[in-house]
Amino acid sequence: MTGPRIETGGTLDGFLIGERIHRGGMASIWSVTHPDHIFPLLMKVPVMSEGVDPAAIVGFEMEQMILPRLSGPHVPRFAAQGDFDVQPYLVMERIPGPSLLPLLNELPLPWQAVAKLGTRIALALDDLHRQHVVHLDVKPSNLLARPTGEIVLVDYGLSHHDELPDLMGEEFRLPYGTAPYMAPEQILGQRRDPRSDQFALGVLLYFFLTGVRPFGDPQRLAGLKRRLWRDPVPPRRLKPECPPWLQEVILRCLEVHPAWRYPTAAHLAMALQHPDQVKLTARSEKLKQDPFTTVLRRRFREQPQVSAMAKAPVRHDGDAPILAVAIDLSLAAAPIAETLRTMVARMLTTLPGARVACLNVLKQGRITLDQTLDEQGRNIHHQRLVELRNWAIPLELDEGRISFHVLESTDPASAILHYTSSNHVDHLVLGARASSLRRTLLGSVSSQVAAQAPCTVTVVRSRRMRTAELPASKDEDSDSWTVG
């Protein structure tokens, strides 16, 4: 069943749909109205067409979880959201002011204007960080200005919330973000440090001041990693009228190690507001990049320290483990899915603080080009998320204690193993399939995972599956595995 058609003049859950304001590769933005909401509204609808990036769907899930938890003048007001298994959407306040994107046509800006703008953005970031959110995609198009002067941060698809599952971090190996603005630790996979947003703001201030991006716009991971050891050209070399104190602030924001930046965005705002109190260091007097010998030493001697800092494992208390359960969602494996859910429910009674992560591995062909839509025209990735949510409903877990993930891989066992390793899973529960010739010859997913998983593994077999004669073809070549 496909979702309702979104078009001008139509209605969706009581919202009258107006003009389409924006159409992007990941979502469309519509103007909407509703009699219960007196402020201007926007509706954001994710793209579910053929070939859509799975990260777009996961990012929309993150925004649906994060936006309702935010408040204050620096975020858009949340109005409503659509059920993911019918038609996902987000309705939020329409900010009347423009984004900072048009300012790119006026660069470089006077240093006084850059400092004032930086103060407003830093205050907005401080407000967001106090609400346990790291934005991780601070850039001109995601910064809007209210008529009253406050900067509003929008688009939380890549964000991290301290009290919610980090779907983006758990599901994707490569870092997601906007290349010119990504912090070094973000590139290395660390997504929970608020000072990453400081780095992005430092890039923006540098860019608005000089008209040049400090680290360019790299399109490959190797290019992104250069900022871990190569410092930018000092702003005063490109714009001599920049005062030393402002260069001090910008270069401090652009430090490789988060600990060398400001402790909080509030400290950064105070520095921009009170330049006479900025402590000047060697950063303020730099007119050249670091010498080549320094760059080499930083790359080959200090790089391991940066990498270890960014990839340090998250510590979990013994009464709050991460529990994963692998389930085949195919129709033939329904009995084992039931048994696994019962097993997880029993385990949760003794682990009241446990976090449950539901993972589905969508098996991909090694050579063939995979379709992203099913025979009914539905996005397969989206449908798997719906199935995962339906499987978990009887567990009755709060949103912050359960998450749902659809990974795409040619090898389900490898995908499960990577997830357990990358996300520091404490206990993995998965089902064993019924015996068959194919399973005997090629081995099973459960046996491969049990042999290699870096955590405790429980393998469960349904009694019904022991006695039933299931077909070996589709069952053993199932394209669906779930970890929950």
pLDDT of 223 reads 92
Q: Once rounded to an integer, what is the mean pLDDT over residues 213-225?
A: 93
Average pLDDT for residues 8-30, to the nearest whole number? 90
Summarised one tens digit per residue, pLDDT across range 453-464 is 888 998 887 655
- Please give the residue that has the higher pLDDT: either 101 or 443: 101
Buried b (16+ CB within 10 A) or exposed e, 285-304: ebeeeeeeeeeeebeeeebe
pLDDT tens digits for range 20-43 = 998 877 789 999 999 999 999 999
Above 80 in pLDDT, residue 484? no
**Cβ-proximal residues to 89 (8 Å cutoff; 6+ apart), any chain:** 12, 43, 44, 45, 46, 81, 82
* Average of per-residue pLDDT across 251-275: 94
Q: Would you say the C-alpha torsion 216, 222, 226, 228 has a positive or negative sign?
A: positive
> Minimum mean pLDDT among 126-140, 152-166, 340-354, 426-440: which range?
426-440
In angstroms, rounded to a whole number, what is the distance separating the alpha carbons of residues 56 and 52? 7
Tell me the residue type at 127: D
Burial state string for 421-433 with b = 16 or more CB within 10 A and e = fewer than 16:
ebbebbbbbbbbb
Is residue 336 packed enough to be buried (19+ CB in 10 Å), middle (13-18) or exposed (0-12)? buried
- Once rounded to an integer, what is the mean pLDDT over residues 94-113? 95
**Higher per-residue pLDDT: 206 or 4:** 206
Helix 244-253, helix 111-130: angle, nearest 10: 40
pLDDT value at 469 more than 50: no
pLDDT band at 474 (very low <50, low <70, confident <90, very high): very low
d(CA 144, CA 74): 9
Considering only residues 34 and 55, tell me which one the structure prediction assigns the higher pLDDT.
Answer: 34
pLDDT at 243 over 90: yes
Q: 182 or 50: whose pLDDT is higher? A: 182
Confidence class for position 337, pLDDT limits 50, 70, 90: confident
pLDDT of residue 255: 96
Q: Tell whether the model's pLDDT for residue 475 goes beyond 70.
A: no
For 77, 89, 211, the CA distances from 40, given in Å and listed in that order, are 10, 16, 34
pLDDT in the model for residue 22:
87
Radius of gyration (Cα) for the chain, nearest Å?
A: 25
Looking at the predicted structure, is the pLDDT value of residue 421 above 90?
Answer: no
Question: How far is 274 from 260, CA to CA, in rounded Å?
Answer: 20
Q: What pLDDT is stored for residue 478 in this prediction?
A: 38
Structure token pair of residue 168: 């983006």
- In SS3 terms, the chain reads as CCCCCCCCCCEECCEEEEEEEEECCCEEEEEEEECCEEEEEEEEEECCCCCCCHHHHHHHHHHHHHHHHCCCCCCCCEEEECCCCCCCCEEEECCCCCECHHHHHHCCCCHHHHHHHHHHHHHHHHHHHHCCEECCCCCHHHEEECCCCCEEECCCCCCEECCCCCHHHHHCCCCCCCHHHCCHHHHCCCCCCCHHHHHHHHHHHHHHHHCCCCCCCCCCHHHHHHHHCCCCCCHHHHCCCCCHHHHHHHHHHCCCCHHHCCCCHHHHHHHHHCHHHCCCCHHHHCCCCCCHHHHHHHHHHHHHHHHHHHCCCCCCCCCCCEEEEEECCCHHHHHHHHHHHHHHHHHHHHCCCCEEEEEEEEECCCCCCCCCECCCCCEHHHHHHHHHHHHHHHHCCCHHHEEEEEEEECCHHHHHHHHHHHCCCCEEEEECCCCCHHHHHHCCHHHHHHHHCCCEEEEECCHHHHHCCCCHHHHHCCCEEEEC
**Half-sphere exposure of 285 toward its Cβ, with a 13 Å CA cutoff?**
4
Can you name the residues that pair with 408 across neighbouring β-strands? 362
The band of 306, judged by pLDDT with boundaries at 50, 70 and 90, is low
Each residue's pLDDT tens digit, 322-336: 888 887 888 888 888
**pTM (global) more than 0.85:** no
- Tallying the residues shown for the chain, one arrives at 484
Which is nearest to 352 in space by CA: 327, 317, 388? 317
What domains sit in the chain, N to C, each tagged with a CATH number?
Answer: 11-93 (3.30.200.20), 101-310 (1.10.510.10), 322-483 (3.40.50.620)
Residue 199 pLDDT: 98
For the chain, the average pLDDT equals 85
pLDDT at 353 over 80: no
Let me know: does 390 contact 382? Beta carbons within 8 Å: no
Place of tokens 């003049």: 9
